[in-house]
Chain A
């Protein structure tokens, strides 16, 4: 009787130990994955020409631009030696590049509008992706003076139809169901949670998170998909060996 009790106690202790080991391994994997998500790159600050007797170029390009909108970018040009606005005899250029360095827009304007503006109209067909774009504006006049201004801007979603809160909620829900099933040793919940995670991962691969489809969202999607597959298979194998 006592031996049976001790055996049962030993089995329970071994089960608890195995469960906590599994928890430690999974927690470590998640921490490792989150550390990998930390971006080590940041945007380059805007740069401008520093010629004393050249042209001082300034733009009103915003840091964030909505997808699917026509943008009117403007440039003002000043004489860098005395600060006087220049409105004649000057030609300005605007070039835009995407995140892979491809040339996606180039424009030229030599006639000012609204008294001081050298303007460029960038249509939605030019800015088709949600990513960071690089631009460079340069102006030169007929007397051999010139100047430039370069920077970056980011194209953001047209509208926030599904906010980030929705994505966080749905991702947490999928993970919570699968983890509760997995650690609560309920095979059916584990399988259903795993399937939910697989579907979610697949959906995130195609749609991204709040319309953003970057390598980060792809990584999250693939990890969700893979974990879902592992949970679903693990749960169904557990069901196979269940003696209840």
Chain B
């Protein structure tokens, strides 16, 4: 349980620290015009997936904590 909480916090810290970089690089990659069509759409969605993974991890950690304390 403690390992998961520490790991979860590492994920959140690393994720939130890298999120602006990811968003910026996605913008640069799209402006570059090297990828087009469906691949370009996928590149554009990277920030969303990245943020979604951080958000879901945070919820998971919170849910685990609540479950273990008997509140959920």
Contact = CB atoms under 8 A, between A and B. Distances in A.
B19 to A, nearest CB: 10
Given A202-B43, A202-B46, A233-B53, A240 B25 contact: no
Nearest to A204: B29
A184 to B, nearest CB: 13
Interface residues of A, number: 30
B20 interface: no
Contacts of B43: 202, 205, 222, 225
B53 A191 contact: yes
Contacts of B26: 202
Contacts of A65: none
A188 B49 contact: no
Main secondary structure of the interface of B (DSSP, over half): helix
Interface in A186-200: 187-188, 191-192, 194-195, 198-199
Contacts of B54: 236
Interface residues of B, number: 37
Interface in A205-239: 205-206, 213, 218, 222, 225-226, 229, 232-233, 235-237, 239
A199 B8 contact: no
Contacts of B4: 187-188, 239, 242, 244
B51 to A, nearest CB: 10
A136 B14 CA distance: 54
A203 interface: yes
Interface string B11-50: 1001100100010011011001011000100110110011
Nearest to B1: A244
B56 A236 contact: yes
Nearest to B26: A202
A202 B30 CA distance: 10
B57 A239 contact: yes
A198 B22 contact: yes
Contact of A188 (B8, B42, B52): B8
A237 B56 contact: yes
Nearest to B63: A240
B50 A195 contact: yes
Interface of B: 1, 3-4, 7-8, 10-11, 14-15, 18, 22, 25-26, 28-29, 32, 34-35, 39, 42-43, 45-46, 49-50, 52-57, 59-61, 63-64, 67
